[in-house]
Amino acid sequence: MYLHIGNGEIVNHEDIIGIFDMDTATVSSVSRQFLSEAEQKKEIWYGDSDIPKSFIVCTDGPEKQKIVFSRISTSSLKLRTAQFFSE
By residue range, what is the domain housing residue 39? 2-86
Divide the 87 residues of the chain into consecutive groups of 10 and give the mean pLDDT of each group: 84 90 90 93 84 91 87 90 67
Q: What is the DSSP letter of 14?
A: G
From the list 40, 42, 41, 73, the residue with the least C-alpha distance to 56 is 73
What are the angstrom distances between the C-alpha of 63 and each of 4, 48, 58, 66? 24, 26, 11, 10
| Residue 87 pLDDT | 56
| Residue 63 pLDDT | 79
Question: 67 with 44: CB under 8 angstroms?
Answer: yes
Look at the chain and report how many structural domains it folds into: 1
Question: 52 with 7: CB under 8 angstroms?
Answer: no
Residue type, 2: Y
**Strand, helix or coil at 25?**
helix
